[in-house]
Each structure stands twice: as C-alpha cells, then as structure tokens.
C-alpha cells in the first residue's frame, strides 16, 4: 500500500523496539529504595544551610557563596575518594555521580530568576566553567536541573546551554492549553532535545527526532514518539462547501459566466 505523499520522504521507523532486545531502562516508580540499600551505598549530601553555619563568609572568583561551597565539597570528595586517579581503584572501578537540583534559583542565593538585570550575571557561568574542569580531570559525571522558565535573561540560558554536553527540556501540560486539548489527551508533556554530545567534533549534534512526548503511568515513566491522530473532518481543506456550491453554479452557466465569476475553477 502506497502511503500519502507527505510521508513518503520520511525515514522508516519501527513502532516499537524488537522483542528480542531490551530497550532502555525500566523502573517501578511506585517503589522506594530500601533503608538497607541506602546504608550499603556510599553517598554524600550537600545541604547549604549546614555549610553556611560551618563557614559563614566565603567568596571566591566573585561567585555566590553557595556555588563556592558546593565546588569545594565536590573537589574534596574527588580527592579523598580517589576519583582523580591518584589512588587507583583495585577492586571495583566506580565513577562519581553528582546530582544538583534547581541550580540558578534563589535557593542558591541567585537573583537571575527575579530580575532581568541580576547583580552578578556571570556567577552561574563561572560555576559551570569550574565544574567542567573538575569533571574533566576526574572520573565524574554530573546531571543538573535548572528552572529555565523562571530565568528572565535569555542570554544566561544560552551560555548554560553552550557549557553543557547534553540539554533536555521538559514541558508539562499542567496549567496550559494543551492539557485540555484532545490531541494530547494520552500524554502528560513534551520532551525537547536541544543538544546532545558528539565525540571528536567541535559542534554538538542535533537529534533528528524532535517530536517526543512523555506520560506517567501508574508504575512507569515512558517516552514515546508523538503521533497526532489524522484529520478526519468532513470539510475539504482547500475550499469550503459554500465555495464548492458557487463553483457548481459557474459550471452550469457556461464559459462566459466563468470569466465574470468571483471564483476561478481549480483543476
């Protein structure tokens, strides 16, 4: 069967991955980690109010004190745990996984979410520059969440994007017009892939798949290709029923009337 002309040049994609291969990672979001597993796992916590009480005044490179304390904490863990390569890991080789939430918000002492002209525009970018250098010289990986919808200055978000290897944005339908749109009734939001890394290249790769949506089931968080339903309306796309009726009158009146009519026939 020959598909419609508007889809004939698109690449062929599988609707679902092969049954023999295990695709992606599957987590049961209804379950929580057991206390025994947390006790057996070595992890570190950074809580800014506790760090402020230990060392009240710290200011390095004209950054906010929260960023400075966080960088010192990450650097101390890298050196003490041997992730910098100074102490070879003999039994099991691990990497340091770092997670930072709401970077750039007022929780870190920033004001870029409150005004168009913050007091220190480059504080966040300085932090990312130093963090990148720490990650490059150690066995570490970091994932950061940024409240992009609250940052007023778009130039700051462009710098954050350029300093990141992978940039993925989540757009929720809650509180928007798409929440009640029947076209998106099966989904809870969209996923925008702005940037993905590309090895041995000076520029970042751009994903070919741009239409991605997510939905949260009872136990799973699934990401799927966004497939909109076909338009099955009764009207013709190029003209309405009234235009068709006028064209029929022109046909019945002859060629002379066609030349003087308001509408031209579309062959």
pLDDT, residue 239, reads: 46
Q: Which residue has the tokens 């206390």?
A: 35
Q: Look at residues 72, 85, 25, 66 and name the one whose alpha carbon lies nearest to residue 44.
A: 72
C-alpha to C-alpha distance for 77 and 155, rounded to whole angstroms: 32
What is the average pLDDT value for the chain, to the nearest integer? 75
Which of the pair, 141 or 185, is modelled with greater confidence?
141
Q: Are 157 and 104 in contact (CB under 8 A)?
A: no
Q: Count CB atoms within 10 A of the CB of residue 67.
A: 24
Which of the pair, 175 or 254, is modelled with greater confidence?
175
Q: pLDDT digits over 78-134, tens only?
A: 988 888 876 665 666 688 999 999 998 888 888 888 877 777 788 899 999 999 999
Please give the structure tokens belonging to residue 114: 């409150």
- In this prediction, residue 54 has a pLDDT band, given cuts at 50, 70 and 90, of low
Q: pLDDT digits over 201-237, tens only?
A: 777 666 666 788 888 877 778 888 877 666 555 554 4
Domains of the chain in start order, with CATH, are: 26-229 (3.40.50), 230-267 (no CATH)
pLDDT, residue 84, reads: 82
Cα–Cα distance list, 218 to 27, 30, 36, 43, 222 (Å): 11, 7, 25, 29, 11
Q: Are 231 and 205 in contact (CB under 8 A)?
A: no
Tell me the pTM. 0.69
pLDDT, residue 88, reads: 64
pLDDT, residue 206, reads: 63
């Amino acid at each position: 069967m020959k598909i419609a002309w508007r889809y004939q040049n698109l690449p062929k994609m599988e609707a679902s991955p092969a049954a023999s291969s295990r695709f992606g990672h599957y987590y049961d979001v209804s379950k929580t980690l057991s206390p025994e597993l947390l006790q057996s796992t070595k992890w570190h916590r950074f809580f800014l109010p506790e760090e402020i009480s230990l060392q009240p005044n710290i200011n390095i490179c004209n950054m906010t004190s929260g960023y400075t304390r966080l960088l010192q904490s990450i650097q101390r863990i890298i050196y003490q745990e041997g992730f910098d390569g100074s102490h070879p890991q003999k039994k099991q080789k691990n990497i340091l996984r770092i997670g930072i939430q709401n970077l750039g918000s007022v929780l870190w002492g920033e004001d870029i979410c409150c005004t168009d002209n913050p007091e220190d525009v480059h504080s966040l970018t300085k932090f990312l520059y130093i963090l990148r250098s720490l990650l490059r010289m150690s066995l570490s990986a970091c994932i950061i969440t940024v409240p992009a919808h609250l940052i007023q200055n778009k130039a700051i978000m462009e710098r954050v994007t350029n300093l990141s290897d992978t940039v993925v944005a989540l757009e929720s339908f809650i509180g928007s017009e798409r929440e009640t749109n029947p076209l998106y009734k099966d989904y809870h939001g969209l996923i925008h892939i702005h940037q993905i890394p590309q090895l041995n290249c000076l520029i970042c790769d751009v994903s070919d798949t741009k239409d991605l949506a997510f939905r949260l089931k009872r136990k799973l968080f699934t990401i799927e290709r966004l497939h909109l339903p076909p338009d099955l309306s009764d009207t013709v796309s190029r003209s309405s029923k009234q235009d068709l009726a006028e064209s029929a009158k022109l046909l019945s009146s002859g060629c002379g009337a066609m030349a003087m009519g308001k509408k031209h026939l579309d062959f």
